[in-house]
Amino acid sequence: AAEYNIWYDPEAAHAVYRAPWNRMVFNSLDVDQYYKYRKETHDQIKLANTPITRMLDEMYGARFEENPDREVSIWDLLSAAYVIDPTLFTEIQTRWVDVDTNYGLNYGRTVSWKREGTQAPGTQKADILWKMDEERFWDLFVELVTMVPEDPVNPEW
């Protein structure tokens, strides 16, 4: 299946993927399958009672109460984590990446090749986030969402 943002406009993604960037880094759906936001972490941050943790509790609290085994995908958190601290990612694979723009079952699907010479002509290399130090990631997440920013207008939360 195609990732929605790529499937929505495969030709645009194809052009972006093939542009001669100095470097491309991809957060793949593959890496997201391993790392999820869970009730254990939610309960930990909820105790901080900050504006951000209250917002997260409004979004996920009832869902976790209904199903304590629920897991929430964290695609965007993984991308943000890479920008904040690339060393969180312990394995990054370099591949040639493209988008299938042939009308058919794979239309809009991202494809990649590991070995040089096997990729489609014009395809560019990209670094693909593959594995991360999950403990360090969640420590960073908890630290960031539980910190109380200074607010000169509303000093009391």
Q: What are the structure tokens assigned to 109, written together?
A: 């699907």
Residue 148 in this model has a pLDDT that exceeds 60: yes
Q: Sign of the C-alpha dihedral, residues 58, 68, 50, 148?
A: negative
If one counts the domains in the chain, the total is 1
pTM of the model: 0.84
- Residue range 3-62, pLDDT digits in tens: 888 889 999 999 999 999 999 999 988 788 899 999 999 999 999 998 899 999 999 999
Residue 98, domain extent = 4-35+74-146
Q: How confident is the model at residue 151 (pLDDT cuts 50, 70, 90)?
A: low
Residue 96 lies in a domain: yes
- CA 103, CA 1: separation in Å to the nearest integer? 14
Q: What are the structure tokens assigned to 28, written together?
A: 């793949």
Residue 58 lies in a domain: no
Residue-level pLDDT at 153: 65
Residue-level pLDDT at 33: 87
Residue 41 lies in a domain: no
Residue 46 lies in a domain: no
- Residue range 8-17, pLDDT digits in tens: 999 999 999 9
Give Cβ neighbours of residue 101 (< 8 Å, ≥ 6 apart): 10, 11, 14, 107, 108
- Residue range 85-130, pLDDT digits in tens: 999 999 999 999 999 999 999 999 999 999 888 888 899 999 999 9
Residue-level pLDDT at 76: 92
